[in-house]
Structure 1
Amino acid sequence: MKALFLSLVIALAADVPLDNADEEARAQALMRELRCVACENEPVSQSAAPIAEDMRTRIREMVGEGSTDQEVRDWFESRYGEFVLFRPKGNSLSGALLWVGPFALLAIGGLIGFLTARRKRTVARDIEAEDV
């Protein structure tokens, strides 16, 4: 019975909001920006996984200690990798490839189709000219 009570107290103490309302709002915003490393595409704020509870506690600790939002993000990224960020930094080359790549492939496919159709027309005209 004591063990059950003790585990309940620990579980409830894990998600104790910060005393300062502004700091708690910042912490909540950060919890929505960071991905739970145990759950598939679920923010730390909504996850019930034990690691998410630890992550929420660490976010509140860092915000309470005066860390900036970027420092909190950087700490989690250094520990869990860029996967933990819902908005990954990405460099300009990879971002450009992601946005331009599909359109470039579509244009290349259209050009190949156009050239193939043109070649078939030319071959068909040459065959007709030989038959006459």
Structure 2
Amino acid sequence: MSSYPLLQGRLSAGGKFARIIGVLLCLVLAMASPAHAVQPDEIMSNPAQEARARNLSRELRCMVCQNQSIDDSSAPLARDLRLLVRERIAKGDSDQQVLDFLVARYGDFVLLKPPFEKSTLPLWLLTPLVLLGGGLALWGYSRRRSKAMRAAADAPPRLSEEEEARLAKLVAEPGESG
């Protein structure tokens, strides 16, 4: 028996409550799966070409959503870009030709992974430099802290005025203890 009467009723009806929670959890997990925005009318009849189109779509940034690929975005511009990719593939362009065409039209920003060039150097180097700087700062902080801890351990502890007076009294009167 539970010592919490309000909880008692819920525990006895726990089977129903647990089932409801389980169903809700399953629904939340089902909705959390990645949803691709490719519409059925966009899919190419050739499976090999469709696979190429999907791979390219995962590499291209939605210009509206900015941190989503056009494969994941449901924005109208992303749909237009997906159709453009499929049109170029259907014409016989290679993957690199499709990417070059889109970069020429929209710039390097259309690529989710920009190329390693002089203009994109800060994008590639900023994260490692920040991590290195943070690591050096932590290392310096830990060195200063350990040095301060060693210095505090080596230094004799300071006595309060009361303790000094008591010590002086004890030293002055060697035979008596107080």
Q: TM bucket by the smaller chain? A: 0.5 to 0.7
Greater relative CO, 1 or 2 (CA 8 Å, sep 6+): 1
**1:116-127 → structure 2 map (5 Å cutoff):** none
Q: Evaluate the alpha carbon distance shift between residue 113 and residue 46 of structure 1 in structure 2; reply closer, same or farther with a 3 A threshold.
A: closer
Greater shift, 32-41 or 105-114, is seen at 105-114
Give the match for residue 132 of structure 2: 103
C-alpha displacement of 1:109: 6.8
Tell me, yes or no, if the aligned pair for 1:14 and 1:54 is still in contact at 8 Å: no
Q: Gaps spanning 5+ residues in structure 2: where?
A: 1-38, 152-178
Query: Aligned equivalents of 1:43 and 1:109: distance in 2?
Result: 36
SS at match of 1:76: helix
Q: Gaps spanning 5+ residues in structure 1: where?
A: 1-12, 122-132
The answer on 1:88 being equivalent to 2:114 is: yes
Name the TM-score, length of structure 2 as normaliser: 0.49
**Structure number having the greater helix percentage:** 1
Query: Aligned equivalents of 1:91 and 1:98: distance in 2?
Result: 16
The answer on 1:31 being equivalent to 2:57 is: yes
Query: Aligned equivalents of 1:52 and 1:102: distance in 2?
Result: 34
The share of aligned pairs that are identical, in percent, is 34
- RMSD of aligned Cα (Å): 3.3
Greater shift, 58-67 or 72-81, is seen at 72-81
Deviation per CA, 1:101-124, whole angstroms, max 9, x where unpaired? 431354257548867x98xx8xxx
Tell me, yes or no, if the aligned pair for 1:18 and 1:24 is still in contact at 8 Å: yes
Give the match for residue 79 of structure 2: 53
Query: Aligned equivalents of 2:125 and 2:78: distance in 1?
Result: 33
C-alpha displacement of 1:59: 0.2
Greater shift, 63-72 or 88-97, is seen at 88-97
Give the match for residue 129 of structure 1: none
Give the match for residue 72 of structure 1: 98
Tell me, yes or no, if the aligned pair for 1:15 and 1:56 is still in contact at 8 Å: no
Give the match for residue 164 of structure 2: none
C-alpha displacement of 1:62: 0.8
Deviation per CA, 1:42-85, whole angstroms, max 9, x where unpaired? 22122222211211110001111121212212222222222221
